[in-house]
A and B are shown apart, each in its own frame.
Chain A
Amino acid sequence: MAEAVLVYALVALAAVWTVWKLFLPRSFKARLLRKARKTDCGDGGCETCGD
């Protein structure tokens, strides 16, 4: 059972990795990564602050 779960997890990981590397457009990935990155004050990009 544990072996099957591990194998399925590895296959799922490979599928996600393949889709990410091959199929998602660069601009879309950049947008996703920008949203995911936590920004602190002074990092820039805040519309209200402008810094």
Chain B
Amino acid sequence: MSGSVKAGYVRALDLKTGRVDMGHGAGGKAMAQLIDELFARAFANDYLAQGDDGTVLPAPEPGERLVMATDAHVVSPLFFPGGDIGCLSVHGTINDVAVMGARPLYLAASFILEEGFPLAELKRIVDSMAAASRAAGVPVVTGDTKVVEQGKGDGVFITTTGVGALPAGRSLSGANARPGDAVLVSGTLGDHGMAIMAQRESLAFESEIESDTAALHGLIADLLAAVPGVRVLRDPTRGGLATTLNEIAAQSGVGMLLEEKAIPVREQVDAACELLGLDPLYVANEGKLVAIVPAEAADAALAALRAHPLGREAARIGEVTADPNAFVQIRTGFGGKRMVDWLSGEPLPRIC
């Protein structure tokens, strides 16, 4: 009988019904198998194939500087309309690098897995990550896996770190906004946060709200090519547009005045916010861009954004004002004015 089993045979990882066990993080053969059969296969690239503790990467072009960003992802639920924690963890970090004006080059990924987590779901997540990384042209070049006992995690946590190259002479910073500048957004606000909330609260709408999770480096490259004088770029994730604009206002020492009517929000998102008592300006986005540009470049910037599939609904939503208090204000559709303040520690669930 033993003749029918090939020498050195190892039973393949059971990706249909298997579950993560403590051995998958113990550093032994089970871990090596998980890495080989799942991660390395999905992310397959020459850097990862080096197989060492770290990855050797080529130097950037002469004159270029490096940009590095990291982002931990703990979203619950792991799968949501429009995406999952896998593609989200790729998009999130690419966007953090890209809004600095850099060309995203490489990603590192760290997984914290909970004992008992179905391998089939892990495969779905890793495949989604790999697809997102390939679509973006930014490979995952190194990684790590740890397993925690049941009850000590929440399925999967993923931390990704990104490295990008910043062309000589380019400097985008939240401190660059100046009075008179135009404030633009690349599309509708609140989609990601409400997609998650609607699912968590089992809200049924006639048409489902989908997360906007997307990698923005293509859109940003087009914008910067059309308008090299862009002053500030940010992706308004946690805390939404309101928090992002307050950060910029504080960093630059300026105020802002927004026009409520000009801010694009999908009707379902608006309705869901109304129902849950939330303000779409404070709800997270994962595929939107805030751009602050000199007023004279606003039309060109808007045209560049709208020409890209991810920026079709871009809008000019307000202007930067001179205000030493760094207040962000809005003219309401009703006709009054109010502040759009920092988000104050609401007990909102995990959205990214």
Interaction A to B: no
Task: Name A residues whose Cβ lies closer than 8 Å to a Cβ of B.
Answer: none
